[in-house]
Amino acid sequence: MDDVDFATERAESFNASAIQMVLQRSSATLSTGSCRSCDADIEEDRLRANPHAQLCCDCAEDEEAERLKARRCGPR
């Protein structure tokens, strides 16, 4: 297998994964409008951009920071 075949295979795999994610997301339930972490109201702009949002902006930022920290530092 040469580099072109490998790149094509990776692109096809990525596209298939992306399509699966979109299909799963479209079948997900809509947000209740209340943050599942702190019970505050989720911002209207956030819900317009992502009607499936489960976290307010502050909690989403905190969760993303924790995810990045765990990825950098590894599981503990």
pLDDT for res 46? 94
Q: Which domain holds residue 46?
A: 31-76
Same domain (yes/no): 41, 73: yes
Same domain (yes/no): 41, 12: no
**pLDDT tens per residue across span 37-67:** 999 999 999 999 988 899 999 999 999 999 9
Same domain (yes/no): 43, 58: yes
Same domain (yes/no): 36, 69: yes
**69, pLDDT greater than 80:** yes
For residue 8, CA distances in Å to 1, 11, 15 come to 11, 5, 11
Same domain (yes/no): 36, 21: no
- The neighbour count for residue 28, using CB atoms within 10 Å, is 11
Please answer whether residues 49 and 33 qualify as being in contact, where contact means their C-beta atoms are separated by less than 8 angstroms: no
Same domain (yes/no): 39, 72: yes
* Sequence-ordered list of residues with C-beta below 8 angstroms from that of 37, at least 6 positions apart, any chain: 55, 56, 59, 62, 63
Same domain (yes/no): 51, 75: yes
Same domain (yes/no): 24, 37: no
**pLDDT tens per residue across span 17-34:** 988 887 877 666 788 899
pLDDT for res 2? 80
pLDDT for res 26? 66
